[in-house]
Structure 1
Amino acid sequence: MSDQNVQGTGETGLFIYGIVPSDVEPTPDAQGVGDPPGDVDVVRHGELAALVSEVALEEPVGRPADLTAYEALLDGTAAVAPVLPVRFGTVVTGPDAVQDLLEAHHDRFAAALDEFENRVQYTVHGRFDEQEVLSEILAADRRAADLAEQVRGRPEAETREQRIRFGEMISQAVELRREAANSELVEALTPYAVLNAPRAPSHEMDAVNVAFLVEADGEEDFVRELEDFAEQRRDLIRMRILGPLAPYDFVSAHQLVE
């Protein structure tokens, strides 16, 4: 499914948030993207429905507030019903285009919704404490410690080569620790999750970044195990959990049209 706006002859289009079972109804206070926020509605076809809101085609959707509204609607829906998030920014010309989409991929979407029934996503993100991880690296690597001594208190112009080598060594050491931390996290939480999806680091000091698909009736066990994992590493890694969320990281290309 394209994430580009479809320019039609009218002045408005429909922003699509996600695919849900046909019996899902948006709450009366549900708000969509846009300024002012659009009212959320549904377009139905067979066993499926799409959560949509009207947007002006001449006003690009992409403000931080729009992304927040998109995620809030999908995450709130995921708490009560399965939902397939549609790529942020997908706009079509009107209800007929939405119904055509639902008709063309009805069986595929229905099977995917069955897969996500009573399942939600949790995203676990952690960042190394920079001073703690640096101290650990220097204690474990004599060469890095020697380079740190060589550059300490000396002008950058005189120690440029040493600083470059030192930076490369620290970066490689952090990467190795990141790989180990992610592996440990996945190993610890695999018994409490259906699937996991490693995510790319968003910062040079990222320690862990993994999405997990969790059964609704297993959320408490999952969170408890994660809290134990985080507590054991609290001096080295500052960890946070986001969820429950819609299954953003688990809606694959074979389930939704590109």
Structure 2
Amino acid sequence: MALYVYAITGQSHPLDLEGLSGVGSEHSLVRAVVSGSLSAVVSDISEEIRPKRRDLLAHQEVQERLMRDGTVLPLQFGYTATDDLSVEEVLRKDSDAFLATLERLAGCAEYHLRASQNEEQLLRDILLDTPEARELNERILAGDQDPQLPMALGQLVAAEVERRQDALAAGLAEALLPFAREHSVRPASGSDFLNLSLLIPRDRIEDFLTAESNLAREIDGGVECRLNGPLPPYSFVQ
């Protein structure tokens, strides 16, 4: 029978897995495969696991239970192995790397910050604050038929949006990075201009949350900050 693998922990982790059922239709109990100083948290599966809501929640529940009691190397959803022996082999082969990563992540949790900006307010501010953009817009509204005007205005506004949002992203990161042991910046998507993951030591979490809350409250320009955490440190497992 194949195995679904949730995470890797060190020997000091209590591995309180009682009552946890895993992914898949059979709801197999979650258990540990031990090799030396490492354990892999697994459950038996007899089917291909797809990202259905129930299985995603089961995966996350295991991660959260493990994170509650100690340091964990969470695996992304969908990682499988053929059997216990293959898992033990991986633990033995890469034990030094796994142990080093566990030490690096010890006592930390991940927080994930996304930020977006109200587009209408941003455009109004640009037209108000940028004389050249305001002049081009006024000429268009007055009926100027120059075909170059809309393109010129669009290019100017796009450049100004990028400049302002880059500055906002840098300012947010600069204010919060002192609380983090490590951080990871990924490309923002949709209306977001910031996608930032932070590895926060547990003894700094309260100060970090206070700083983020104050920052979100004080920042203007229609900016919305969305903070998620504490999370298993997915972004920092290499």
User: Smaller-chain TM-score range?
Assistant: 0.7 to 0.9
Matched, 1:215 2:215: no
Say whether the 8 Å CA contact 1:24–1:49 is kept in structure 2: no
How many Å apart are 1:75 and its aligned residue? Answer: 3.3
Residues 179 and 66 of structure 1, relative CA distance in 2, 3 Å threshold = farther
Matched length: 236
How many Å apart are 1:108 and its aligned residue? Answer: 1.3
- What residue number does 1:8 align with? none
Say whether the 8 Å CA contact 2:122–2:221 is kept in structure 1: no
TM-score, normalised via structure 2 length? 0.86
Stretches of structure 1 that go unaligned for 5 or more consecutive residues are 1-11, 253-258
How many Å apart are 1:238 and its aligned residue? Answer: 1.1
Residues 234 and 71 of structure 1, relative CA distance in 2, 3 Å threshold = farther
Matched, 1:106 2:103: no
Say whether the 8 Å CA contact 2:6–2:63 is kept in structure 1: yes
CA RMSD in angstroms, aligned pairs only = 2.6
How many Å apart are 1:142 and its aligned residue? Answer: 3.4
Of 120, 123, 129, which residue of structure 2 is paired with 1:134?
123
Say whether the 8 Å CA contact 1:207–1:237 is kept in structure 2: no
Distance 1:231 1:179 in 2: 19
Identity %: 28
SS of match in other structure, 2:77 = coil
Say whether the 8 Å CA contact 1:182–1:210 is kept in structure 2: no
Q: How does 1:44-123 map to 2 (within 5 A)?
A: 44-57=34-47, 59-123=48-112
**Given residue 28 of structure 1, which amino acid in structure 2 is its aligned partner?**
E
- What residue number does 1:184 align with? 171
- What residue number does 2:219 align with? 233
TM-score, normalised via structure 1 length? 0.80
Distance 1:236 1:228 in 2: 15
Distance 1:40 1:18 in 2: 11
Distance 1:107 1:207 in 2: 37
SS of match in other structure, 2:14 = coil
SS of match in other structure, 2:23 = coil
How many Å apart are 1:150 and its aligned residue? Answer: 5.9
Distance 1:20 1:227 in 2: 32
- What residue number does 1:30 align with? 20
How many Å apart are 1:32 and its aligned residue? Answer: 2.7
Distance 1:250 1:242 in 2: 16
